Amino acid sequence: MRGEEAAAAEARCPRSPELHDLSDDSDYAAAAAASSNHTVMRSDLADKGSVETARVDVVYEKEGVTIHPMQYGSGRISGILRLYLQQGSLFLSWEPNEEVDSFSTSSVTMEIEKYRNLYTVKGLPLSDVRFIRKHSPAFNIGVEYIIIVLSSGLAYPPFYFYNSGLRELFASLKKHVFIIRSDDDPNVFLVNDFQDPLQKSLSSLELPGVASVANAMSRQNSFSFTGSVDEARHVTPSSMTEYVSKQKHKSNDPGRDLSIQVLEKFSLVTKFARDTTSSLFRENHNIGARTYGRQQQKHVLDNRANDKYTDHPITPDKGSLPSDSIESDNLPLVWGKQRDNPLSVEEWSNFLDPEGRVMDSKALRKKVFYGGVDHVLRKEVWKFLLGYHEYDSTYAEREYLAVVKRAEYEAIKSQWKSISPTQAKRFTKFRERKGLIDKDVVRTDRSVPYYEGDDNQNVVVLRDILLTYSFYNFDLGYCQGMSDFLAPILYVMEDEPESFWCFTILMERLGANFNRDQSGMHAQLLALSKLVELLDPPLHNYFRQNDCLNYFFCFRWVLIQFKREFSFDQIMLLWEVLWTHYLSEHFHLYLCIAILKRYRSRIIGEQMDFDTLLKFINELSGQINLDRALQDAEALCSVAGDNGAACIPPGTPPSMPIETDGGLYVQEDEVL
């Protein structure tokens, strides 16, 4: 069966000479020639979970479409790329061949075997595609490939067309979806790019913007406002082409600049594609069916628990309940590098010279960024990451520093320790601050064994450090959220003065989160908004239309750097990753975007308003896959590159604040 199909595909898609100019007319003609003999087959391509065996029309099929999963040039997985129509929508699939490509050596073969299924693309709806970039090698040396970029801004690995067939692919695409060449880059083909206002309104009639030939034609008909449906059926291919090319010139495509900017970074992404051992592709790829069925599933999904307060007006059919977690958007999108193992004791010792200097701090930060730190090393390594120890300090210097800093801490602590009850009576601000801190330390991480139980001495230490800090930095004082930052630090350091100094240095960067005028928070949320605008314009537009651009729904994420979203163990890992400032000082903002992108189709699909979104984001606590979010964020950060950095004004926390004459913290009078 497979062989016959391949032969048929070969017949439909004869090898063509190298093409530099992909003319619309000739593409259409090629597709028209092929269209008369669609293969019809049973739905073995369809979602395995699907009950019905919907009819699948394969409109394009090509063998020898290959990906290169690893850095070894010899490692290839060859497979079959197909386009097929199902229930009026166009899908793309890529399935690896059974046998590993003979180019591979046996050791590489073993490696590749692991990735075979990771890269399978089961049923990608073309409505999820933002654009496809075609790479034609110069002077016909090398192999043509395409990169498919989804509307979320993320990309599949390059598909190399060893047996040609790219021209026919585009011809087929043109026939079934709205696709236009970017005005700025002739190798970029925008998919479903309805920017013309009239076109937008038309596309909204037939979401998701992917249509069968018949649908496309009737859409064409409504566009020109001529004649009956009968007439529409007789629209000729050439008039269709005319319409498409007109649209191409009309399109003003405000998102185009971004696309191009993102593409400038693509060499980087392609490199990831070679390096990666991404596990993302083992996820369920049938996001299309989910997206379209989501409106119907909404009540079902929300109703998954046997909640006695369930309030949904519609009684769902429990039998159709998907049993997955709240994180239902398993988008197979991302090209971040796979997470590494934590820095081990042995690796750490290799970073140090005989006198204890870190020889290659950048390599160290990179290692920690990708893998974190073995817990037994945290006490030592965090001091470097936070900046309490200089990387080029020696063991002896650090020991000396500890002694000096211990004394300095005790001196500051004695400032409030020496306040007598009589003096306190006349010192309202002190009483209030102490009262607030007393109340909050007993409400911080008490479920962690280190802090649990009555009369826990560690809770008292938390209190003492925070109160001392509020004297050390009297202008900033104490604010809720600080105890969330301090608790893991004290847990790791197990030493009061060292915890104090590490916390103090952290607050040099993050203290602005607690400014009374919330300026630090607003700066970060604004930068976040700009980054989403850059990396996911549709999501940005959604937030804009729904009055959510203040990003207050990410307030808790940003204020205490996800402390409440992950377990205590996970947060230690996340923070040490953030503290490396390896790709960006503002990596936490990319993490926000990575998480939002994971859930974007639920957010948009369920038309969440501000209240609903806030509640939804709140309830993601404990549900987020940290490794995957980090991987996604890394890819986003790399793709955004300098354009991303340009979204973040200087001085935005956790960058060091820009000092002014009036002190670091501009505060109004009534600071606690």
Partner 1 sequence: MSYAYLFKYIIIGDTGVGKSCLLLQFTDKRFQPVHDLTIGVEFGARMITIDNKPIKLQIWDTAGQESFRSITRSYYRGAAGALLVYDITRRETFNHLASWLEDARQHANANMTVMLIGNKCDLSHRRAVSYEEGEQFAKEHGLVFMEASAKTAQNVEEAFIKTAGTIYKKIQDGVFDVSNESYGIKVGYAVPNTSGGGAGSSSQGGGCCS
Which residues sit at the interface with partner 1, rule CB under 8 A? 298-299, 302-303, 307-314, 432, 436, 439-440, 442-446, 479-481, 483-484, 514-518, 521, 550, 552, 555-556, 559-560, 564, 606, 608-612, 614-616, 618-619, 670, 672
Residue 133 pairs in a beta bridge with 147, 188
* Least distance in angstroms from the C-beta of 139 to partner 1: 56
When the beta carbons of 81 and 603 are compared against partner 1, the nearer one is: 603
Between 139 and 309, CB nearer to partner 1: 309
Comparing CB distances to partner 1, the nearer of 190 and 574 is 574
- Sign of the C-alpha dihedral computed for residues 154, 293, 214 and 244 taken in this order: negative
Amino acid at 438: D
Which residues partner with 129 through β-bridges? 150
For residues 451 and 582, which CB has a smaller minimum distance to partner 1 in the complex?
A: 451
φ, ψ of residue 220 to 5 degrees: the values are -55, -40
Contacts of 280 (CB under 8 A, 6+ apart): 118, 332, 333, 334, 628, 631
Shortest spacing between CB 466 and partner 1, in angstroms: 13
Residue 35 carries which side chain, given as an amino acid letter?
Answer: S
Q: How far is the CB of 347 from partner 1 (least distance, A)?
A: 35
Nearer to partner 1, 98 or 611 (CB): 611
Nearest to 416 by CA among 474, 459, 457: 474
Calculate ∠ Cα 282-287-292, nearest 5°.
165
Q: 151 vs 513, which CB is nearer to partner 1?
A: 513
What letter represents residue 82's amino acid?
Answer: R
Q: 294 or 597: whose CB is closer to partner 1? A: 294
Give the Cβ contact number of residue 139 at 10 Å.
Answer: 6
The residue among 204, 152, 184, 155 whose CA lies nearest residue 251 is 184
Element (H, E) at 4: helix 2-12
Closest by Cα among 443, 431, 434 to 483: 443
Nearest-approach distance from CB 103 to partner 1, in angstroms = 51
CB contact at 8 A, 113 and 98: no
The span from the CA of 394 to the CA of 672, in Å, is 40
Please, which residue, 328 or 550, has the CB nearer to partner 1? 550
Residues 129 and 80: their CA atoms lie apart, in Å, by: 19
Q: Which residues contact 510 (CB under 8 A, 6 or more apart)?
A: 485, 520, 561, 653, 654
Three-state SS string over 285-300 comes to CCHHHHHHHHHHHHHH
| Rounded-to-integer distance, Cα 260 and Cα 651, Å | 28
**Angle, CA 521 vertex, CA 597 and CA 604 arms, to 5°:** 25
586/594 Cα distance (integer angstroms): 13
Q: How far is the CB of 446 from partner 1 (least distance, A)?
A: 5
Structure token pair of residue 35: 């269209």
> 234 vs 429, which CB is nearer to partner 1?
429
Judged by beta carbon, residue 198 or residue 314, the one nearer partner 1 is 314
Nearer to partner 1, 151 or 303 (CB): 303
C-alpha closest to that of 157 among 275, 317, 35: 275
The dihedral through the CA atoms of 621, 626, 628, 631 has a sign that is positive
CB of 548 to partner 1, least distance (A): 10
Q: How far is the CB of 543 from partner 1 (least distance, A)?
A: 14
Q: Could you tell me the two tokens for 127?
A: 């409505």
Cis peptide leading into residue 157 (ω within 30°): no
> Shortest distance, CB of residue 204 to partner 1, whole angstroms?
19
CB of 456 or CB of 655, closer to partner 1: 456
d(CA 372, CA 368): 4
Whichever of 307 and 324 has its CB closer to partner 1, that residue is 307
Question: C-beta of 469: minimal distance to partner 1 in Å?
Answer: 15
DSSP 667: -
C-alpha distances in Å from residue 345, one per residue of 340, 378, 605, 623, 672? 15, 10, 47, 31, 43
H/E stretch holding 487 reads helix 482-493
Q: What is the nearest approach in angstroms of partner 1 to the Cβ of residue 80?
A: 41
DSSP state of 158: P
CA dihedral 489, 491, 495, 497 (to 10 degrees): 30
Minimum CB–partner distance for residue 610 and partner 1 (Å): 7
Give the residue with the Cβ less far from partner 1, 162 or 450: 450
Residue 507 Cβ vs partner 1, minimum distance, rounded to whole Å: 14
**Shortest distance, CB of residue 455 to partner 1, whole angstroms?**
13
8 A C-beta contact, residue 639 and residue 265: yes
Query: Measured from the CB atom, is 551 or 579 closer to partner 1?
Result: 551
By beta-carbon proximity to partner 1, the closer residue of 203 and 444 is 444
Neighbours of 527 (CB within 10 A): 22
> What's the min distance (Å) between Cβ of 159 and partner 1?
38
What is the closest distance, in whole angstroms, from the C-beta atom of residue 300 to partner 1 in the complex? 10
What CA–CA distance (Å, rounded) separates 467 from 484?
14
Compute the least distance from the CB of residue 475 to partner 1, in Å: 13
- Alpha-carbon gap, residue 416 to 427, rounded angstroms: 11
**What is the rounded CA–CA span in Å between residue 182 and residue 254?**
11
Residues 444, 466: Cα–Cα separation, whole Å: 12
> Between 268 and 326, whose beta carbon lies closer to partner 1?
326
